[in-house]
Amino acid sequence: MVTNNMTIKIGGEAGQGMDTSGAGFARALVRAGLHIFANSDFMSRIRGGYNFYQLRVGAKPVYAPDDQTHLVLAFSQDAIDLHLDELVPGGAIIHDTNLQVDANALAQRHIQSFAFPFEAKALEIGRAAGMDPKHAKQMLNTAQLGATAAITGFPFERIADVINQNFGKKKGSAVAEANLAVARWAFDEAQKYASQFDWKLIPPADGVNRMILNGNQAIGLGAIAAGCKFISAYPMTPGTTVIEFMTAQAKRFNLVTKQTEDELAAILFAIGAGQIGVRAMTATSGGGFALMVEALGMAGMTETPVVIVDSQRPGPSTGMPTRTGQGDLLFLLHASQDEFPRVVLAPGGVESCYADTARAFNLAEKYQCPVLVLTEGYQAFAVRSVGVEEMPFEQFEIDRGKMLTEAELDALQPGTYKRYALSADGVSPRALPGHPNAVYTSTSDEHTESGRMEDEDPANRVAQHAKRMQKIETLKTEMRMPEWYGPQNAAITLMGWGATRYAIREAVDLLNAQGVRANALHFIDIYPLDENRLAQELAKAKWLVDIEGNYTAQLAQVIRVYTGRAPDQKFLKYDGRPFTGAEIARWIAANVNTKPAKGKSAKVTKSAKVTKGAKVKLVKVKLAKGVKVKAAKATKVAKAKN
Amino acid sequence: MTLPIPEFKFTPKLYDGERQVTWCPGCGDYGIIAAVKQALAQLQIPPHAAFFVSGIGCGSKLPDYLKANGYLGLHGRSLPIAQGVKLASHNLKVIATVGDGDAYGIGAGHFIHALRRNSDFTMIVEDNKVYALTKGQYSPTSTRGWVSSTTPDGAIEIEFNPVVMAIAGGATFVARTFSGDPKHMAATFAKAIAHKGFALVDVLQACVIYNHVNTVEWYRPRVYKLDDDANYNPRDYTAAMQKAHEWGDHIPLGVLYVDERPTYEEQVKSLATTPLVKQALTYRKETWDEFRAAFM
């Protein structure tokens, strides 16, 4: 019997409501005091296709998806066929009696099948409540939830609460009652299987309710907490939900949100607002960011604060809109002609999306430059239960840097203010336009200290360019070194950045549980970093394995340029899917000599270096069977420790 | 921000910049900048209450030669910046000054959307029908058949008609003026700046170096003023469209079209009371508690 530690997959066609039932069940679990992590896997279409919602439940916080499944709620035949291999022995599929299962295949793998006449019953109850067949059929969702609650031992009242809440003011209506009746029927029917299913969901006595947020909502929240009042954007998956979230919250926080005619306008609106002194941002994906590049350089030249979120998806060009990847790092580091200070942050996890986006706004104003927040599709969509204490909104300290106060502006001698005054740290005191004593222009041309066009004088050019570039040096004193996770002096160090943070941590835990001393070095702040301090951190890694969602190991390239240190091995993939901890641990076990002779460091076990996705895939296929066993063992060890 | 009401009369000199102007001798831009200053003085808008946005090109240098807040941005991108500025601080008088290439060529996409958005700012286009700063290539408003270094056999496209497009696209103020008539320019700019909503002024401007056809001498006998015609009603859409299409021997100047529509900023709920830049950046605990409850 395993309590409060399982993964449920809910699969079907787009439009069948897997997201709704998944989110409903997640809500019920979190209200019951459990932790969840959930992500949707969907195709770029609104109806049809095959989608699934993946829900991982834990007694302790869960930060990443698992690749083992314990329960599949199948809304379509695909859901049965596609997830069968992911189910652990003893796992189960709940499905309608009108879907087919291959009894032999199930028996071979010790998978159970719990079938119910969901649709027939939903139609019957719906008809009695006066619902048309289309809406009655949608009650399949509530039926599935009722059955799930029964076999996992989860209290029915918790499911009923969420159903009632979903109906809001229509609570008590015939439709709401019909849904409750369907759920109740399924709950009662499924009781007979409860003793056969080993995974249970039991609300803890001291359960605390938490928020459920995805990465893009957290980015929006970070912005709002940091005093961002303005977002302009053009819809592009997976960046769109940032402006959607902020627009939904615009009334509560008095925000201005603007969908513009294109991404060029999106960043320009934000820069216009930023020039005036409003904390402003835009959010997009790589293709949209490509259109913003000219304006990015302009903000660098006019030293206008602006925060730009790039939610990566595989590319180039249109690529894979609903998928994930880490292919934009070098693009963000180098976008634009010539040089100027910029900051690149790559948050890892929902709480980091919040905190590091908030920090982005302080950095943008303190250093008067664009700040790029690099997230990715997987992190944009995945939700986690977040404790109130993890996001102390009221406590964020807004730091606007060298901004002249109203009193300082009043005391200025008119005509003397220099927007681009030379200074030791490269940052010039900033007056917001609108005060009679500080009337000035900013220009994308090279300019004088007063901001007037000066595109000829070499001495002025040298002074202004050096002033701007000095901000990079100043920034380095504030930027954070990569974080360590796991034991010191480990034989293997896993290096990654951004959204892979928790998958890598989980791999570290799995490896250590297997007796492999591994740790992780993870980057959230990526640029600019102090090369000397960074080299010291890298020197602590004995055998460095780079883990990235791209083909060319973009972070590793950057680190090599910064420090001269190259990774010893690389695990790279670009299939559009997120890394999981078990997947990384398997790769390490298969490709790294994890038990080196005393005094020697880890080494490659295969003669050919595995750097290309195709090869990785081959390795994966070869290992798939044996590996599951290893991973399962590791989980058990970890449990025993807990 | 409360803008102080001026206690003394501003003169155009107040807006003089400290810069050496680099326009060619005889350029229409000299007249245009003088008329802009005249209009600001007439409306008594102090330099700190105005915000100029421009792009790249000869005409776009205008804010650099003025004493007023300004942002000289990218070629074709002045309008989105201007609208961002306006949303951030809607009490500022925002004026975009750009050339025809900037406005109707590279920036045409933004132009179309500014028309329908009716953000409360003024767009002055210094329309000399040629790309002058890059040495004489044809522009979207160049006459069909225009011969230039990139169109040696003459421009194949027909010319873009900005005033027709503006009226059709939903601009609430559309006017045309002429760089050879300083008084008319100043009066037209003043009307445009005073207008509530998006105002376009297309300025027929001579380029003494690269446009040897549409010269001051060419324009002068052709232009006539709608303002002198008591029967012309700029609120009549059909009449305005008819006038907007007129070109050749008779070129109408003045306010072609006026409409009243709420401005974009007026309709943004978050701007109902205080300009965005003056709003608090933090929120009460109760506001956050409400948010948390909604996500639990």
The predicted model gives A90-103 an average pLDDT of 94
pLDDT score of B277 more than 80: yes
pLDDT score of A630 more than 50: no
Inter-chain CB pairs, A–B, below 8 Å: 186
Per-residue pLDDT at A28: 96
pTM over 0.95? The answer is: no
Q: Where are the alpha helices (DSSP H) in A249-343?
A: 250-253, 263-276, 286-302, 329-334
CA distance B258 to B235: 5
Between the alpha carbon of residue B61 and those of residues A248, B58, B104, B205, the distances in Å are 40, 6, 17, 15
The residues in A 291-330 lying below 8 A from B, measured between CB atoms, are 294-295, 298, 302
- The CA R_g of chain B, rounded to the nearest whole Å, is 20
Residue of B113, B116, B282 to mutate when probing chain A, most A C-beta within 10 A: B282
Residues A168 and A250 in one domain: no
Per-residue pLDDT at A50: 87
Residues A371 and A410 in one domain: no
- Residue pointed to by tokens 């030379």: A422
Strand bridging mode B69-72 / B50-54: parallel
The residues in A 583-622 lying below 8 A from B, measured between CB atoms, are none
- Residue pointed to by tokens 């799930």: A148
Burial (CB count within 10 angstroms: exposed 0-12, middle 13-18, buried 19+), residue A445: middle
Domain count within chain A: 4
pLDDT score of B223 more than 80: yes
Neighbours of B267 (CB within 10 A): 11
The predicted model gives A129-153 an average pLDDT of 94
Neighbours of B90 (CB within 10 A): 21
Per-residue pLDDT at A47: 64
- Joined together, the tokens standing for residue A115 give 């079938």
Partners of A275 on chain B (C-beta within 8 Å) are 71, 81, 84-85, 88
CA distance A378 to A324: 5
Per-residue pLDDT at A447: 98
Per-residue pLDDT at A360: 99
Interchain pair B71, A250: CB under 8 A: no
Interchain pair B83, A280: CB under 8 A: no
- The CA R_g of chain A, rounded to the nearest whole Å, is 27
Q: Is A229 on the interface with B (CB under 8 A)?
A: yes
Residues A414 and A507 in one domain: no
**Residue of chain B whose Cα is closest to the Cα of A444:** B73
The predicted model gives A65-93 an average pLDDT of 93
CA distance A290 to A312: 12
Q: Is A273 on the interface with B (CB under 8 A)?
A: yes
Per-residue pLDDT at B244: 98
pLDDT score of A610 more than 60: no
Poorest-pLDDT segment among A300-304, A353-357, B132-136 = B132-136
Q: Is B80 on the interface with A (CB under 8 A)?
A: yes
Interchain pair B295, A211: CB under 8 A: yes
CA distance A18 to A9: 9
Give pLDDT tens digits for A168-217.
888 888 999 999 999 999 999 999 999 999 999 999 999 899 999 999 99
Per-residue pLDDT at A44: 64
Q: Is B31 on the interface with A (CB under 8 A)?
A: no
CB A453 within 8 A of CB B72: yes
The predicted model gives A554-570 an average pLDDT of 98
Interchain pair A440, B291: CB under 8 A: no
Neighbours of A397 (CB within 10 A): 8
pLDDT score of A150 more than 90: yes
DSSP per residue, B230-282: TT--TT-HHHHHHHHH--SS-EEEEEEEE-----TGGG-GGGSSS-GGGS-SS
Positive or negative torsion for Cα A317, A322, A324, A329: positive
Q: Residue B120's beta-bridge partner residues?
A: none
CA distance A520 to A504: 7
The CATH T-level fold of domain B12-294 is Rossmann fold (3.40.50)
Q: Measured in whole angstroms, how far is the alpha carbon of residue A29 from the centre of its chain?
A: 21
**Residue of chain A whose Cα is closest to the Cα of B60:** A443
Question: Is omega for the bond preceding A238 within 30 degrees of 0, making it cis?
Answer: yes
- Average pLDDT over all residues of chain B: 95
Poorest-pLDDT segment among A409-418, A490-499, A628-637 = A628-637
Q: Which residues neighbour A134 within 8 Å (Cβ) at sequence distance 6 or greater?
A: none
Residues A616 and A556 in one domain: yes
CA distance A560 to A542: 16
pLDDT score of A448 more than 90: yes
Most confident of A130-144, A591-605, B60-74: B60-74
Per-residue pLDDT at B151: 96
**Residue of chain A whose Cα is closest to the Cα of B272:** A254
Band (pLDDT 50/70/90 cuts) for residue A20 is: confident
Q: Which residues neighbour A451 within 8 Å (Cβ) at sequence distance 6 or greater?
A: A418, A419, A420, A440, A441, A442, A443
Interchain pair B70, A270: CB under 8 A: no
Partners of B88 on chain A (C-beta within 8 Å) are 230, 272-278, 280
Q: Which residues neighbour A502 within 8 Å (Cβ) at sequence distance 6 or greater?
A: A63, A64, A348, A349, A581
Q: Is residue A546 part of a domain?
A: yes
SS3 call for A635: helix
- What is the share, in percent, of chain B residues with pLDDT greater than 90? 95
Per-residue pLDDT at B5: 53
Residue of B281, B286, B290, B292 to mutate when probing chain A, most A C-beta within 10 A: B281
Give pLDDT tens digits for B93-121.
999 999 999 999 999 999 999 999 999 99
SS3 call for B225: strand
- Average pLDDT over all residues of chain A: 92
Interchain pair B287, A252: CB under 8 A: yes
Residue range of the domain that includes A412: 406-476
Higher pLDDT, residue A620 or B145: B145
**Residue of chain B whose Cα is closest to the Cα of A392:** B288
The predicted model gives A25-32 an average pLDDT of 96
Band (pLDDT 50/70/90 cuts) for residue A365 is: very high
The residues in B 199-228 lying below 8 A from A, measured between CB atoms, are none
CB A231 within 8 A of CB A270: yes
Q: Is residue A70 part of a domain?
A: yes
Residues A55 and A8 in one domain: yes
**Residue A298 maps to which CATH number?**
3.40.50.970
Q: How far apart are the first and last CA of chain B?
A: 38
Element (DSSP H or E) covering residue B166: helix B162-169
- Of A435, A459, A476, the domain-final residue: A476
CA distance A292 to A479: 25
Per-residue pLDDT at A232: 98
Helix A156-167 × helix A18-31 angle, to 10°:
120
Interchain pair A435, B48: CB under 8 A: yes
The predicted model gives B10-37 an average pLDDT of 93
- Joined together, the tokens standing for residue B34 give 């003088």
pLDDT score of A607 more than 70: no
CB B81 within 8 A of CB B53: yes
pLDDT score of A65 more than 60: yes
Per-residue pLDDT at A510: 97
Residues A445 and A506 in one domain: no
Residues A276 and A221 in one domain: yes
Of B274, B277, B167, B19, nearest to A273 by C-alpha is B277
Q: Sheet harboring A69-74: ordered strands across? A: A112-116, A87-96, A69-74, A5-14, A48-58, A35-41, A383-386, A211-214
Distance from CA of A61 to the nearest CA of B (A): 16
pLDDT score of A282 more than 70: yes
Higher pLDDT, residue A81 or A464: A464
Q: Is A232 on the interface with B (CB under 8 A)?
A: yes
CB B241 within 8 A of CB B167: yes
Per-residue pLDDT at A67: 84
Element (DSSP H or E) covering residue B174: strand B173-178
Per-residue pLDDT at A608: 39
Band (pLDDT 50/70/90 cuts) for residue A638 is: very low
Q: Which residues neighbour A494 within 8 Å (Cβ) at sequence distance 6 or greater?
A: A504, A507, A508, A518, A519, A520, A521, A545, A547, A584, A588
**Residue A89 maps to which CATH number?**
3.40.920.10
Per-residue pLDDT at A14: 81
Poorest-pLDDT segment among A233-237, A280-284, B6-10 = B6-10
Give pLDDT tens digits for B231-261.
999 999 999 999 999 999 999 999 999 999 9
The predicted model gives A318-334 an average pLDDT of 97
Residues A105 and A22 in one domain: yes
- Of A389, A420, A437, the domain-final residue: A389
Of A47, A21, A9, nearest to A166 by C-alpha is A21
Per-residue pLDDT at B8: 58
pLDDT score of A426 more than 80: yes
Q: Is residue A394 part of a domain?
A: no
pLDDT score of A628 more than 70: no
Distance from CA of A228 to the nearest CA of B (A): 7
Residues A365 and A307 in one domain: yes
The residues in A 12-31 lying below 8 A from B, measured between CB atoms, are 30-31
SS3 call for B66: strand
The predicted model gives A408-429 an average pLDDT of 97
Domain ranges within chain B, ordered by starting residue = 12-294
Give pLDDT tens digits for A463-506.
999 999 999 999 999 999 999 999 999 999 999 999 999 999 99
pLDDT score of A225 more than 80: yes
CB A503 within 8 A of CB A573: no
- Of A168, A200, A232, the domain-final residue: A200
Residues A519 and A449 in one domain: no
Interchain pair B77, A268: CB under 8 A: yes
**Residue of chain B whose Cα is closest to the Cα of A295:** B74
Residues A521 and A579 in one domain: yes
Per-residue pLDDT at A46: 62
Q: Which residues neighbour A425 within 8 Å (Cβ) at sequence distance 6 or greater?
A: A470, A471, A474
Q: Is B5 on the interface with A (CB under 8 A)?
A: no
**Residue A510 maps to which CATH number?**
3.40.50.920
Residues A383 and A342 in one domain: yes
CB B45 within 8 A of CB B12: no
Per-residue pLDDT at B111: 98
CB B226 within 8 A of CB B253: yes
Band (pLDDT 50/70/90 cuts) for residue A609 is: very low
Give pLDDT tens digits for B45-74.
999 999 999 999 999 999 999 999 999 999
CA distance A19 to A23: 6
Of A67, A73, A78, A81, nearest to A53 by C-alpha is A73
Q: Where are the alpha helices (DSSP H) in A430-500?
A: 458-476
Q: Is residue A396 part of a domain?
A: no
Give pLDDT tens digits for A611-626.
444 333 333 333 334 3
